[in-house]
Amino acid sequence: MAEKPSIDPLALREALSSFATGVTIVTTVDDDNAPIGMTASSFNSVSMDPPLILWSVTKSAHSAPIFKDADYFSVHVLGADQMTLSNRFARSGADKFEGLEFNRNEKNIPKLPGALTRFDCKTWSVYEGGDHWIIVGEVFEMEAKKGEGLVFSGGSYATAASIQPPSAMPQSEDGPIEDLLIYNLARSYTQLSQKFHASVESSGLTIPQWRILASLYDCHTRSYSDLVARTFVSPKKMNNLLLQMQGLGWLTLSGESGSGSITGTKAGHEMVADLFDLSAKQEDQALGDAGKAGQTKLIELLRKVIANTNVVD
Ligand SMILES: Cc1cc2nc3c(=O)[nH]c(=O)nc-3n(C[C@H](O)[C@H](O)[C@H](O)COP(=O)(O)O)c2cc1C
């Protein structure tokens, strides 16, 4: 008889975290067809013929009984920019789909936006593995796009690019336009925001929602006109958007619509906390060896441009 192993569960968890994995969100539906999902890094391939994959769910998860009995489920492999979505689906029991736009596959299973790859599976077998259920699925449909995957290692998120430096971009020849501030601002903004905005959208927020929540970060209060100037949302759209966001509990409105003030809530703050961290990481990458000092100087200069060109009181 094997002796009871004297492995400390916390030490085991810590030791296992040295094994870098990808990150997935597994979705299914309950008996009422309500969407269910959870973040899982235990995903792995099993067999090519038949096409089988597996993942494991802790028995203590709210959704464990649903996944154990589900006939179908989908595994979404997350992209490097989907950290916020991963955190959303790692919250226990909450309505993780609230405010998230998603479609369903032919078996009614939720398909999440922005994932790199999706495997639609029919449950093949469920095994008991100690305090987890090991769920094996047969892949009957999949969708894949090219991109960088989200990595989980040592208890925190990383990307393959943060491990491997990107290869140098070929530089085209300079021209007089390179000396124009407006060109440099437009090009750097476009390139930086392309990557970041993809992250915002895959977190389930629209760009205007992100801009509003970011302007109200730390439960800030701002006047209506200040918010319009900061977010570039037209006054026409702003009213409806603010009411919708108040309904979601992300901010509170006071005073007359169109002239009152808007205050961010803790829930609103939490919606964008990870995006703030991600933005800081992307900025560090973009600034390269200019570092913190270069960033401070650049922001200082840009603030002068903002002040000298501001037409809003
Ligand atoms: C990166 C990451 C990977 C995770 N992988 C798993 C996993 O493979 N299996 C699991 O049961 N829980 C995993 N979790 C934890 C679940 O996502 C978390 O317990 C979730 O709250 C379960 O939701 P539920 O209680 O609503 O079912 C992971 C969490 C994170 C952040």
- Structural domains of the chain ordered from first start: 13-153 (2.30.110.10), 177-309 (1.10.10.10)
- The tokens for 146 are 């090219």
Select from 235, 275, 269 the least CA-distant residue to 252: 269
pTM of the model: 0.59
Q: Is the pLDDT of residue 4 over 70?
A: no
Give the pLDDT of residue 278.
83
pLDDT classification of 77: cutoffs 50, 70, 90 = very high
* Alpha helices, H only, the chain: 9-16, 64-69, 83-88, 160-163, 181-202, 207-215, 224-231, 235-247, 266-287, 291-309
Pocket test for ligand 1, best of 38, 67, 91, 128 (most atoms within 8 A of CB): 38
Q: Is the pLDDT of residue 146 over 60?
A: yes
Dist. CA 87 → ligand 1 center (Å)? 9
Give the pLDDT of residue 64.
96
CB 215 within 8 A of CB 227: yes
How confident is the model over 135-157, as a mean pLDDT?
89
pLDDT classification of 107: cutoffs 50, 70, 90 = very high
Ligand 1 pocket list (CB less than 6 A): 23, 38-42, 55-58, 61-63, 86, 90-93, 152
Ligand 1, atom 5, lies closest to the CA of 40
pLDDT classification of 30: cutoffs 50, 70, 90 = very high
Dist. CA 269 → ligand 1 center (Å)? 22
Dist. CA 35 → ligand 1 center (Å)? 16
Q: Which ligand 1 atom minimizes the distance to the CA of 152?
A: 1
Give the pLDDT of residue 2.
54
Give the number of residues written for the chain: 313
Q: Is the pLDDT of residue 169 over 70?
A: no
pLDDT classification of 125: cutoffs 50, 70, 90 = very high
Higher-pLDDT residue of 273 and 44 is 44
How confident is the model over 13-33, as a mean pLDDT?
91
Give the pLDDT of residue 160.
67
